[in-house]
Amino acid sequence: MTAVNFDNELRRAGANATHGWRRLAFLARRYVLGTFGLIIMVLFVWTALSADLISRYDPLTVDSAHRLAPPSWQHWLGTDSFGRDVWARIIHGARISLAVGIGSTALGATLGVIVGLVSGYLSGWVDLVFQRITDILQSLPLLVLALVMTAALGPSLPNVIIAIAIPLIPTVSRVIRANTLALREQPFVEAAKSIGMSETRIAIRHVLPNTLAPLIVLATAQLGSTILTEASLSFLGLGIPEPYPSWGRMLSESAAEYVRTAPWLVIFPGVAISLAVFGTNLFGDALRDILDPRQRG
C-alpha cells in the first residue's frame, strides 16, 4: 500500500468514526429517555463488574456489634439485622439480578427462536403441535409458572434461570413465528429455493437474520420483567438461597419487621429493583422506536 492510499484509508476511517459519533449524538438527543435508561443499565453493569473494588465490606460478613446501624460515613446505606453492610449487599446483589436477567432472557430467547422458526417455516402438523404447547405455557402468568418451576427444581441460581426462562419461550416463539410466516412467502426465499438451497439453510441464513430486529426489542423489554420476577421469587423464599445477597430476599427479611425501625433496609433494595426495571423499560421503548420503521418520524 502506497503512502497516498494509506492516507486515504485513514481519512475514510476518520470520516466513518465522525459520522458514527454524530449519529449516536443525534439518537441521544432524540431519544432522551432511552439514553437515560441506557445510562442506568450501564451503571448497573459497571457496578456488578466492579463490586469487589467499590465495596468496603464483605457482603456475607456478620458484625453483631453494628447491627441495624443507620446510614453513616462508615456504612453508607446502613447495616441489616446481622450487621452486614447494605451497600455491599446491594452492589453484589446486582450481580445476581443481572446474571438471572441476562441468563434467563438469553436462554428463553434462544429456545423461543428455535420453536418459532421451526413452527413458522415448516408449518403443518409441526406448527400445530408447537402452538398447542405454547398455548398451554402462555395460559399461565409468568410469575405463577416461574413459581411452579422453582418449587419443582429447588432454589439455586441455575434453577432460577431455567424457571424464569421457560415462561419466556411462548412470547418469543409467537413473535418469531409471525415474522417467519411473513418472510417465507417473500421473493428472496422463492429465489433461494429455485437454485436448490436446502430448507435448513434458507431458514437459518435468510429467514432468521430478518427476525433479529423484533427479537432484540423483545429481549430488552423482557430483561426488566425477569429481574422483577427474580426479586419476587427471592421475596417469597424460592429464589437465590442464603447467604448470597439478593434484592428480593433483602426485602423479604426486613419488610415486615424493620420497615418502621430501620426503613433503609426496605428503601434501598426497593430503589435498586425499581431503577433496574425502569432503565431496561426506557431503553427497550427507545430501541423499539429506532428499529421499527413505522415508529420513525
| Interval 261-271 mean pLDDT | 88
| Interval 178-189 mean pLDDT | 80
Share of the chain above pLDDT 90, in %: 8
| Torsions phi, psi for 65 (to 5 deg) | -70, -20
| Torsions phi, psi for 79 (to 5 deg) | -130, 165
| Interval 1-30 mean pLDDT | 60
Range with lowest mean pLDDT among 102-116, 149-163, 204-218 = 204-218
Q: Which residue has the cell 430448507?
A: 199
pTM (whole model) above 0.85: no
Contact 284, 135 (CB under 8 A): no
Give the pLDDT confidence score for residue 2 in this predicted structure. 52
Greater pLDDT, 276 or 200:
276
Superfamily of domain 44-295: MetI-like (1.10.3720.10)
Greater pLDDT, 86 or 287:
86
Q: Indicate the domain borders of the chain.
A: 44-295
Nearest CA among 229, 280, 223 for reference residue 106: 223
- Residues 283, 216: Cα–Cα separation, whole Å: 11
Reported as a pLDDT band with limits 50, 70 and 90, residue 15 is low
Reported as a pLDDT band with limits 50, 70 and 90, residue 296 is low
Reported as a pLDDT band with limits 50, 70 and 90, residue 10 is very low
Residue-wise pLDDT tens digits, 32-58: 888 898 899 999 999 988 988 888 888
